[in-house]
Amino acid sequence: MERTINAAGVFEVAILQVKPAKGRYAENLAQIGESFAQLAIGETTPALVVLPEAATTGYFLEGAVYELARSTEEFAHDLATTWRVACGDRAVELACGFYENDGGTYYNSALYLRIAGGSHEVVHVHRKMFLPTYGVFDEERFLSRGRRLQTFASVLGPAAILICEDLWHAIMPTIAAIKGARVLIVPSAAPGRGIDGETEMRSVARWREILCATAAEHGVYVLYAGLTGFEGGKGMTGSSCVVDPRGTIQVQAPDLGGCIVRGVVDLREADLARASLPLLGDLNAVLPDLLLDDELPLPKGRTS
């Protein structure tokens, strides 16, 4: 079966907004498999499927993360097997958040996986760099942080993954865009906080502002996959969405409940957005001066 490619540079994508049962890895994989099976209805499947942060375990694990974390190879095998059981030999690329065990060092990671026929390939693993440890968050107590932000070749062209709070630090999407990313994949597990007006949580409104501003500033598509459900009385806010390179939300899921969000990525739109608002080109021109600023703080022992 072929992926959905309507024209040169036009791809169908899907975001699975899942509601995992805390700590039930096999059960959550089976539930994801049911969603995969829905994507296989019809003649084509999406070129890219994105799942949230901690999609197979739940987010608030604390010390249980050491029991539920998987190596990259094990998690890739499990995810690929789940896809094949549901969708047979259809080709796809998957992005999914998971807790990673790298030889006894633990990370909040996201895997990018390419599946074709009976084989699969780990294309990229991003390890979350900004680990929140404030309010209801306690990540840095249990996890190590990633040390590098990289772009990689996806079916949609150059892409980068930023996990949840990574995106709240504007330097992260900026670096990804400078490195060539045209698509930002954002797996997230965001608890709801505050009320805006009568119905919307302030955290949801703030996320929308960040996602739209990031897309518009850099002329990139942003694919946001939000975890949903309740963990220990904390409600995850879902709101998965596809944002186009002009900062307009193409499609968005509700705050609560599992669902599938389908969108279209047209890479020609990224080219047009960057041409009409060439902020990224301006940044590339000014960047050398910024990097040579001797007032910027450098790690101890570094002088240049």
Q: How do residues 62-78 score in pLDDT, each as one tens digit?
A: 899 999 999 999 999 99
Residue 258 predicted with pLDDT over 70 = yes
Check the CA dihedral 85-160-15-245 and report its sign.
Answer: negative
Q: What integer pLDDT is reported at residue 195 of this predicted model?
A: 66
Share above pLDDT 70 across residues of the chain, in percent, rounded to a whole number: 94
84 occurs within a structural domain: yes
Its sign, for the CA torsion 72, 54, 153, 42, is positive
In a domain, 49, yes or no: yes
CATH number for the domain including 273?
A: 3.60.110.10
Q: Which pLDDT score is estimated for 3?
A: 43
> At residue 128, does pLDDT exceed 70?
yes
At residue 5, the pLDDT reads 46
Q: Which residues contact 232 (CB under 8 A, 6 or more apart)?
A: 22, 60
The angle subtended at Cα 246 by Cα 54 and Cα 161, nearest 5°, is 25
Count of domains for the chain: 1
Q: What is the pLDDT of residue 26?
A: 97
- For residue 237, is it within any domain? yes
182 falls within a domain: yes
pLDDT of 228 strictly over 90: yes
What torsion, rounded to 10 degrees, do the Cα atoms 74, 172, 225, 144 define? 40
pTM above 0.75, yes or no: yes
Residue 303 in any domain: the answer is no
Nearest to 72 by CA among 105, 46, 47, 50: 105
Q: So what's the pLDDT on residue 106?
A: 98
294 within a domain of the structure (yes/no): no
Other CB atoms within 10 Å distance of the CB of residue 42: 9
**238 with 17: CB under 8 angstroms?**
yes
Please give the residue range of the domain that contains residue 17: 10-288
Q: Is 301 inside a domain boundary?
A: no
Residue 102 lies in a domain: yes
Mean pLDDT of the chain: 92
Please check whether residue 185 is in contact with residue 166, taking contact to mean a CB–CB distance below 8 angstroms: no
Please give the pLDDT value at position 43.
83
Q: Which of 95-109, 170-184, 284-298 is predicted with the least confidence, judged by mean pLDDT?
A: 284-298
* β-pair type (249-252, 241-243): antiparallel
At 2 the pLDDT is: 41
Contact 187/164 with Cβ under 8 angstroms? Answer: yes
156-170 mean pLDDT? 97
Give the pLDDT of residue 196.
Answer: 58
Question: Exposure pattern of 164-178 as b/e (b: 16+ CB <10 Å)?
Answer: bbbbeeeebbbbbbe
Residue-wise pLDDT for 74-119, tens only, equals: 999 999 999 999 999 999 999 999 999 999 999 999 999 999 988 9
